[in-house]
Structure 1
């Protein structure tokens, strides 16, 4: 089954959705009500799903869910208004097109038939509907309709639609004939081209051997040569290596490229073995690299075992790996600069900064932060990088930076991190062949020497530092860019690297005792003090300042209302309609009605809600909460509970939940509870009966929690 999902903005789609759902699922005798409930949930999302989220999946609650959805979406007034609106907002046609005209007719008929289904007298709207649709037509179609209806005093909608459908068929027929005519012309051109190709002397000529009996790409003399010699011979004869014609170079050739690799050469110059040889060369290099590493690792292992024989048994075991670095001939230089940073005492400290336009934040190392003795602010900010790797930042600081010549100054905020990156550049290199002008003042005079990075300057300041001057150091060399910090060097660097072959060893000297100790530290349960948001802090403050306790010790609190609570609309009609619908359902089940009445009667007898009148009001705003039954047959105490729907929207589109602040979660996570249970041999569970009802709402705000209920006549009840 494939049923479209319905959401909170699908009033106009509800009828089609429910008819399809009713046919496939609701009236399907092979499905029980629990299965139907699951199907229903899978077809809902957003507010439509939230309407039934409070219901436990059971056979009894399935009918409740259907009733709640029908109450929300079978709003005849809203549905009619939406369909009428759709007709008025049909897309206008600017030119003759059978596709757009057909779409206009289909969209109109969809809303027209929906209005018929909803019982609207659309059979009497012919003149109005013809006018609305006709003004959406293109000028040519409008003229044709006026010509057709000039002798009709009161045209009918069926006549109008018939004319439009005939126009669609005419346009479709004309489009088909034009397409066939175009194909015939194309075929004629192809046949003429083939015929002309039979006259070899007129078009055939080989630019390589100068014969007129074949094309260049079929020249046997050229094809006998190896591919690299073909290329050289064509270049020698000033023949384009892309189209095999003379008179221009490949970079100015407009012909298509190689049909195999799409590169700028002719297909006869494509080397099929190029990628194979390239992979073989890569494999040979990798094999040599692995062999060298294996040899070094083998020698290292031999020395380790011999050392172990001579060492005392009490010394901790050592784990060691080794890696051999092959010298590089090319690396990418990242832009760096020497800057001055203010410390706690207002003194300058020189440090090395990396300029990175791909970073949204500025960073400094923990080492520099401690060295400057700056004041930090605790934060919890995850920072993501390559491949979505996450680094959690817990501290940020603020300080002033200056250029080395003190000509530029800015106050920036930095996130504190243990390590920004490795030492840059990756390997030191010689700069004698770069020919950097001597009068340029470099931002980092030692840019070619491997040094640690203390600060990263991100996109916040990167483009503010840039100046328009720029120099290119050769075709394959780096770029010099002028900035407010001085000239920076960035880009590819070719040439011999100073760093020699080296073997790096990584040692782990922790003994077994320390490793086990670290394991238990990881497994240790610590309760973290989560930071409260501004709204949660306001809820805490509201409770501390507004709560009261009566002579029995019972708490009275005020609702944590948001500023938009004054925009809460009227809810009486919604609550009344929901009550009437609920009574129809309860009338069919006397047992459920009795338990429902008993539940609310107990509510009133315990003093958890009191009877009030329509006119009595302690507040300018009155809100009525709809309510419904939730059935839980497995419950050992109360099988029927009454749920008050604080998410029900008022006429302003806001619900009571929308105007209440969200406080701190007071329950522990299930995972924390399960883990904590492992720490004790005995676990005791208990249920605090009616716990939340023991906390009263301040009498000035009880009007926000009114409900309608009746045994005989409708009564207004206000919950405490």
Structure 2
């Protein structure tokens, strides 16, 4: 092909490419300027025509590249980029336009979704949390300042106090949401409130559809909420059925019992079906009664009676304005008896029939069905009987739960950690500053009384002084300068010793009295402090839990309270006065650690342990579970099934507690291999323990009736087992006996029963007749004669006492019975020893004259 023709072909291809580009440019411009949703169909048609443009462009560009031998990649990339952008933009417009047109096609206005309200009740937290989280919290189209305004508008007065101190800004929303979750997303309290609701379902005094449906609705609400907390409520059927049946009136309860045709346990679904059927039956009866026309014939009133006025509004509830009486009102029945009584007083009703116009004295209605007193049954206060027989009225108390929650929240928000990991806590005051009054004069007066006690007991003074000097040496307290004595509010703690002789470590401890009051109506320090919830585990459960393991480990936290520092702002409420010498001036000290005697001390200490467990829960779950659930105050009791597992658990516990400045000591185990090296064999070094305890022992005396020989045995106790062993020792040395004589001692009688098969005859003297055993009573008298003169008040070891008894036995068996002969020059007498060894047992050793 000539070169001119070849160039002509290339020019034609370039013109064709330009036409394609022009067509594409028109579509791209149309898409960019598109703003009329009515031209959606036009855009859809243009898009269908535009889609093949890229294929046409690539085909023409490919021909140009072949014939010109020059590849224009930049042009190809630019066209493809604009092509795909236009396609994407057009499809987006089509999708949005379709949705808008479909929404416009619906001529129905949906109702506005109202945000849920939350008034601070734990039972309402879960539904509020789920609704607000879905509608507002996870809505990315809302700014955080908008979310904060929505959140504040949903909260009641009680709940709003949690976030009232926060500034109204976008940065405060996350903090507000977190504070609400920390306070109210408490699984333990939520479950407690719902279980409390189950036990306080409304009482049905008269069967009606509204009361039964109210009972069913509240039951379902509590059960569903408990299910959402991952509790297996499906296994509670028997208990739930009992609770529901206890709320029935007599008629409904009888119908329920009649429905049960077998002895098998009914299911909760059976109970719900019964309630639904009962409601439907009552509704049908009410409808039939109200729809039946009744002819009322008015009668003339008697001349002596005032005409009666029939008020159709008399059956309206005075509380909720519904068509029922007050004693059938669900709102009224939901209250506790104390609140019901307040309502009755406020409405000025009769407490016996809940109606107006008279008082209980003039009321003709029946008395309480429970106790028979002159008040309505719904106003009866439930009572429980104590072990002493007294009755205690029970009311639901939410104040205690509220204070517990306040204490936990206060700790989380105020506690700190030192660079070494030790906890620094603030005291949970009810009011800040607390009202304690002037306590220094009384504290000094009580300390001077203590000094009088020290003067009479120098050893107590020495141990007391050493204890407080250790406090100062370990920096657990500090001296207060004279310039600080009266610069701030302070509380002075009286202190006194507690002596525990059985203690391995400190026999004398100093205990501080935080319940001391200054007088004049002032409160003590403990009165100003929240006690906090009891976080200790039940000791019985701990003991049972550890028994399932093969290896047991126990330990103790060294000075647990004193390892937790008190914030410097609160230390002036922990002052004491002390001096080691009555001739010096009294000094003032400030305690720096959590102190014995504070009612909140156990709570603060246990919360520190729980905080450590929470901190390392992901890395060391087994040890953290032990920290949270295996401590009884400062005592640890855990178990494992192998030495390796126990060793790993021990090391993890030591390391985690060390992060909080806590040290485990007094390790003990049934397997020495799992004890720390420092604790192995440690018990043998304890010399302060009185291991040589004084015990009582007994002496058994046997006397031979034929030759008057006496045998003495040392017996550990007065049991039949000990005497049986004693008898075996005697017969092993002296030979088997055929007849035994004794009094009627319990151990003798029991031993006789066990020796029936040995052919030993046991003879008992009559009861209360010791004179009939004169021969052994004389032996006892002789034995005691020597024993008292040798021992006196001394205490002997077992070997010493047993040796002494054998010497006394030898002396008694060397007493003369009768002369050996009638020869007046023969001075030798016959003794029991002659029957034993051929001579008196105390005879001296004579030399051999044959030598």
TM norm. shorter chain > 0.5: no
Higher strand share: 1
The structure with higher relative contact order (CA 8 Å, sep 6+) is 1
TM-score, normalised on structure 1? 0.31
Higher helix share: 2
TM-score, normalised on structure 2? 0.26
Rg comparison, structure with higher value:
2
